[in-house]
Amino acid sequence: MRLRIIAQRVATKLSPSFWIRNLQLFCVKYVTSILDLFKRKIKEPSYKRDVGTRGEQLAVKFLKKSGYKILQRNYRCKLGEIDIVCYDHGTITFVEVKTRYSDTYGPPELSVTEAKKRQIVKVALHYVAEKRIEDMDFRFDVASVFHTPMKKYPVITLFKNAFTKNDSIPSRI
């Protein structure tokens, strides 16, 4: 008799309903905690993003003081992103902002690689096509923001015509 009771208990613990119930509990307990971790990670901006955002804010302020009209910030499409799109004396200007807090890896403007230039040109052409802009000149500038903790104010340098559409297209022989 006692053996039969033990066998029934083991059989009920190994039944599909037992496993389904335990799996549901596991999912509720662990999967939701993992999702919460991902949500927190997405909500908390990274240090690099903070540095970039701060640099873009400083560059926008600098550009406005220099007489530029800001058309759009952080223009995104499937091809990539352009930090700032502005208007300057009849020219649409696409500005890439690079920010550094130390000179360990060199000045900020040197981090605009050939690949990044090609991507910026592609995104700029997409912007021009999407906004149906015709008969306007456009150029590519680089805003370098160097802000060391020891200095009160950042050093902002604007490189006008930092590169052209033709510079960024690799030549094929």
**Which two three-digit tokens encode residue 105?**
């890896």
pLDDT at 128 over 50: yes
**Which two three-digit tokens encode residue 138?**
């456009």
Q: Which residue has the higher pLDDT, 164 or 157?
A: 157
C-beta neighbour count of 158 within 10 angstroms: 18
**Mean pLDDT within 33-56:** 69
Strands 91-100, 80-88: pairing is: antiparallel
Q: What are the tens digits of pLDDT across the range 147-157?
A: 887 888 899 99
Q: What are the tens digits of pLDDT across the range 59-81?
A: 999 999 999 999 999 999 999 99
| pLDDT for the residue 51 | 82
C-beta neighbour count of 22 within 10 angstroms: 11
pLDDT at 138 over 60: yes
Q: What are the tens digits of pLDDT across the range 78-116?
A: 999 999 999 999 999 999 999 998 888 889 999 999 999
Candidate from 49-58, 84-93, 111-120, 129-138 with smallest mean pLDDT: 49-58
DSSP secondary structure letters along 53-77 = HHHHHHHHHHHHHTT-EEEEEEEEE
Confidence of residue 164 (pLDDT cuts 50, 70, 90): confident
Mean confidence (pLDDT) of the chain: 81
With 0.85 as the threshold, say if the pTM is over it: no
Cα 75 from Cα 33, distance rounded (Å): 34
Confidence of residue 23 (pLDDT cuts 50, 70, 90): low
Q: May I ask the CATH class of domain 47-163? A: alpha beta
Characterise 164 by phi-psi region: left (phi > 0), alpha (psi -120 to 50), beta (else).
beta
Between CA 163 and CA 170, with CA 169 as vertex, the angle to 5 degrees is 120
- Any idea where the domains of the chain sit in the sequence? 2-43, 47-163
